Every structure is written in C-alpha cells, then in structure tokens.
Amino acid sequence: MRRNELLPVKSKAVLITGCDSGFGHALAKLLSEMGVKVFAGVLDVNGAGAQRLRERGSENLQVLQLDVTDCSQIETAHQFICTQVRHTGLWGLVNNAGILHCPEDTELQPLSVCRRCMEVNFLAAVNMCQVFLPLLRRSRGCIVNVSSLAGEVPMPMFAAYGASKAALNVFSKVLRVELSVWRVKVAVIQPAAFRTSTFGNSDDIGHYRDEILTALSSEAREDYGEAYISSLSSSLSRMSQQSAEDLSPVVDQMCHALLSVHPRPLYTPGQMGWLLPFLHRHCPTAMFDFIIMTFLRHTECKLTGLGRS
C-alpha cells in the first residue's frame, strides 16, 4: 500500500469494533500512528488487549468499552464520539468484532450457536451502521465490514458462521448502493485464514465440546459417535496453527478501504482469498464439492454409527 494513494488523515476519526486483539487491535495501532483519531471499541476495557492499546500513550487513540450486542454500550459510545467529532462527523466505521464457534457438522450445531453468530457477526453490524450513519453522512466517510471467505464459499463445518457472514455480505452490497447517493462508501474485507483470537483458547475449546454434547440428541450422539464429536473441538487449535500469522495483508487492505481515494468494494487478502471463490464460481458443483471436502476434511477419527470418515 503506497501512502501517496491515501487521503490526508487530518481531522479524520474512525471507530473500530473488536480491538481487544487481531485485526482490530493492529488496525487501531496503525491508524493512530498515521495520525487518524481512533476510537477503539473493546469487549473488555480492563482486558490485556485494551491495556496494550492504552500503554501506547497516543493522544490519537481512545479505548472504549463496547460490546456490540449491548445497545446501552453502543449508545454510550455514540454520545461520547458525538462530543469528540462535533461538526466534522465520523470518517470511518469498521465493523470488525466477530465470533467463530467450534467447527462442527450442521446437525450437531446447537441452535444457540446459530443465534449467537447471527447476533454478533451480522445483526450487531447492522445496528452499528444505523446508529452511526448520521455521523458518517456528515463527513461523507466510509463503512468497512469485516466478513470471511466462509461468507462466500460453502465450507463444511462452518454453516452458522458462514451464514452470518453471507448475510453481512449481502447487507453490505445493498448498503453500498443505497448510500452512494450520500457519497458514503461501503467496503467488505473478506480474509482467508489468518491467526486471530477468534480461534479461542483451551477454556473455549472445553466449553464448545460440552455445549455440543449437552444439546445433542441421543440419535445423533449414537450415529456420529462421542469420540468423533469430542474430537471436533481440537480442530480449532489445528486451524489456528495452519493459518497465516502475519496480519499485515488484512490490516493494510482495511487501511486502504478507509483512506484510499478510490476504495474497492471488496478486498480478499490471503492465499485462498481469490482462488476458492474463483473455483466455486467456475467449477462444476460436484468437482467443487470434492475439492472443498478434501481441503477441509476432518479426519481425526471416524464416525461410528454410519462408518463415515
């Protein structure tokens, strides 16, 4: 990303959600170093990620408590930002906060997980856009929604997560057309696999396993086998290890979407970011299904009742 392709940052303010770690954390640091006024929304204002941001001591970086599913916290953040940006408005809104549950067969996925994915990954972004759009119209700024490759390509084991990101994709496209009359831009960042905290920790993995087993019917437990079901939670750790550790390709493109003179409607950072969607669009269905099943097959153990591997 060449800096001479970017707009001046003077008087520009950006709100980023999900800054505790990962893309949001890195973007907040980069933008504040460039001179952008950053409001970094975090799930835990007393957590380690929030503390690391505050330790930078940047006058351009303000850490805000912001659970994107909590309307009262959103309103508090909105009122505070209004007092800070006044007549200049808010230049950018980055809907980065998101969750990824344990990869699992759709039949095994608790309905509560589907609801939680839709609430955090989709509905929260809709609400954030509606609340902050008056400030964005004032500056003729931009919205950047962070989606996922799973939102465009059907990935086995990611039904709820993929559906929530697909909903975000369609919402973003409609919003882009509607807001063009206001000269407010909308961009989608659709990363491939990068190593962030969405993969969870050991406590999350244990919780996921217990949640699946508790919600499961006796028939599904017998058909799939408890050994297979218990092994699913370990796939998060394996996926994390196989994902790219360098977040800069994503963060650079998020920055480009916010500050470029001519931002693109879609950014696809990562090695598979363009390849899998290309194959999905152009391969015969049976061929693509074989490719994606081979690529994402969970082979740690076999299903007992049906003999499936």
Per-residue pLDDT reduced to its tens digit, 95-111: 999 998 888 899 999 99
CA-wise closest residue to 17 among 68, 86, 90: 68
81 CB-near residues (< 8 Å, 6+ apart): 13, 15, 39, 90, 132, 135
- Tell me what pLDDT residue 242 has: 60
Q: How far apart are CA 108 and CA 70, in angstroms?
A: 28
Between helices 71-85 and 124-139, what is the axis angle to 10°? 10
Do the bridges between strand 61-65 and strand 92-95 make them parallel or antiparallel, or are there none, so unpaired? Answer: unpaired
Please report, for the chain, the start and end positions of each structural domain, with discontinuous segments joined by +. 7-198+244-296
Q: How far apart are CA 37 and CA 28, in angstroms?
A: 9
Structure tokens at 22: 């990962």
Partners of residue 40 on adjacent β-strands: 16, 63
- The domain defined by 7-198+244-296 carries CATH number 3.30.470.20: no
> Is the whole model's pTM more than 0.85, yes or no?
yes
Per-residue pLDDT reduced to its tens digit, 127-169: 999 999 999 999 999 999 999 999 999 999 899 999 999 999 9
Report in angstroms the alpha-carbon separations of 275 from 152, 271, 272, 282, 283. 12, 8, 5, 11, 11
Q: How far apart are CA 193 and CA 185, in angstroms?
A: 26
pLDDT averages per 10-residue partition of the chain, 309 residues:
75 97 96 97 97 92 98 98 94 96 88 95 98 97 96 93 97 98 97 67 64 83 86 69 77 96 93 87 94 71 42
Q: For the residues of the chain, what is the DSSP string, one character each?
A: --GGGBPP-TT-EEEES-TTSHHHHHHHHHHHHHT-EEEEEES-TTSHHHHHHHTT--TTEEEEE--TT-HHHHHHHHHHHHHHHGGG---EEEE----------GGGS-HHHHHHHHIIIIIHHHHHHHHHHHHHHHHT-EEEEE--GGGTS--TT-HHHHHHHHHHHHHHHHHHHHHGGGT-EEEEE---SB--GGG--HHHHHHHHHHHHHH--HHHHHHH-HHHHHHHTTHHHHHHHHSBS--HHHHHHHHHHHHBSS--SEE--STTTTHHHHHHHHS-HHHHHHHHHHHH---SS--SSS---
- Tell me what pLDDT residue 74 has: 98
Q: Are the beta carbons of 228 and 307 closer than 8 angstroms?
A: no
CA-wise closest residue to 251 among 38, 82, 10: 38
- Tell me what pLDDT residue 307 has: 40
The residues carrying an active-site annotation are 161
